[in-house]
Chains A and B, each alone.
Chain A
Amino acid sequence: MSIKVRLNPMLKSLAGGQEVVEVTGHTIGECLENLESRFPVIKQLIRDKQGQLRRYCSILVNSESTYPKELTTPVKDGDQIDIVVFFGGG
């Protein structure tokens, strides 16, 4: 099963410049773990010390919000996950 994770610019810079990373998993949580195992620095940015997603991160599947079940939402072959990081400065 192949799921594509699209990384926003900040995460892309932490993934060796890759904008799209193919991962495996049956839920978003499993897909993120797969991504984080390859790019541990991404985990530091998107998760807090308890392993929860930071609130400035949003997870979309096929452009739709998955809140409040970000980590448990099931995904299927061909789905696209977007990790959106809010740039809050002005």
Chain B
Amino acid sequence: MLTKDDLTRYERQILYADFGEEGQKRLKQSRVVVAGLGGLGCSASLYLTCAGVGHVTLIDCDRVELSNLNRQILHCEEDIGEEKPFSAAQKLAKLNSSIEVTPVFKEITERNAREIIKGANLVIDGMDNFKTRFIINKACVAEGIPFIHGGVHGLFGEVTTIIPGKTPCLACIFPEVPQREVAFPVFGVTPAVIAILQVTEAIKLLAGFGSLLTGKMLYFNGDTMDFTFCSLVKNQNCKVCGTKEV
């Protein structure tokens, strides 16, 4: 049920014909997990909050550092040393007090991943490392929860929407987890662009309209300002979501 304030706050997006009040109700009833509160996760949770997603869970196991502030826009100088999920949740609560934001200061592992995402309508990839992304990918496939992957490097970024059982998962494309990068180059604008594309996917998926980035990777090149696609096909031998015996 939308309140009078909801109708006022979300008036401009409710005007979008394929969305309307029904779309807004669906967002309000939705639960989204943002895995990682770095460059991607900060921008993504900001726009999920603005859009009126009813329940947003923020998970990260790091504390705010000065070197984060070129891109992690929910953290301020006074937050240095704070747990990222709580730093982010404070800002989001001021932005939209009508939604529920749950901060969780915890590392995502093979053991707890499924429990953390259980009950979510979708998971946003805000991770900064390959290993945890693949853990979440596997957990999402096991739980049947859509996973909106995003990744960045310098001025490059990528997005794809993974629907378990229907689309390729990350392990279809990268069967072995890549080695960890020590420090990757990145401008603040790159994760901002990618996160906003992830939230665009999330809004459509939750509200049930539009077409999604399923079965394809969208690449953003901020250096030349172009977007390109790469088609992806489900790997029947995938050790995470494949249907054949390996």
* Chain A contact patch, size range: 20 to 34
Set B127, B177, B179: member contacting A90, Cβ < 8 A? B127
CA distance A6 to B150 in the complex (A): 21
* Chain B contact patch, size range: 35 or more
**Which residues of chain B are within 8 angstroms of A78 by Cβ–Cβ distance?**
none
B69 → chain A closest CB, angstroms? 15
Q: Is the CB of A9 within 8 A of B230?
A: no
CA distance A17 to B157 in the complex (A): 17
Q: Is the CB of B191 within 8 A of A90?
A: yes
**Any chain B CB within 8 A of the CB of A41?**
no
**Any chain B CB within 8 A of the CB of A51?**
no
CA distance A89 to B38 in the complex (A): 9
Q: Is the CB of B178 within 8 A of A86?
A: yes
Cβ-closest chain A residue relative to B220:
A9
A7-38 interface code vs B (CB 8 A; 1 in, 0 out) = 01110110001010000000000000000000
**Any chain A CB within 8 A of the CB of B223?**
yes
Q: Is the CB of A90 within 8 A of B38?
A: yes
**Which residues of chain B are within 8 angstroms of A9 by Cβ–Cβ distance?**
156, 219-221, 223-224, 226, 228
Q: Is the CB of A68 within 8 A of B175?
A: yes
**Any chain A CB within 8 A of the CB of B151?**
yes
**Any chain A CB within 8 A of the CB of B16?**
no
Cβ-closest chain A residue relative to B133:
A88
Q: Is the CB of B157 within 8 A of A12?
A: no
Q: Is the CB of B157 within 8 A of A87?
A: yes
**Any chain B CB within 8 A of the CB of A56?**
yes
**Any chain A CB within 8 A of the CB of B209?**
no
B42 → chain A closest CB, angstroms? 10
Q: Is the CB of A84 within 8 A of B230?
A: yes
Q: Which of B128, B156, B223 counts the most chain A CB atoms within 10 A?
A: B156
Q: Is the CB of A65 within 8 A of B219?
A: no
CA distance A60 to B231 in the complex (A): 9
Provide a sorted-by-A list of 8 A–B residue pairs whose CB atoms are within 8 angstroms.
A9-B220, A60-B173, A63-B231, A65-B175, A65-B233, A88-B133, A88-B184, A89-B152
Residues of A within 8 A of B (CB): 6, 8-10, 12-13, 17, 19, 54-56, 58, 60, 63-65, 67-68, 82, 84, 86-90
20 additional contacts (CB under 8 A) given A60-B233, A84-B174: A8-B219, A8-B228, A9-B219, A9-B226, A13-B224, A19-B228, A55-B176, A55-B179, A63-B233, A65-B172, A65-B173, A84-B173, A86-B130, A86-B151, A86-B158, A86-B173, A87-B151, A88-B184, A90-B38, A90-B129
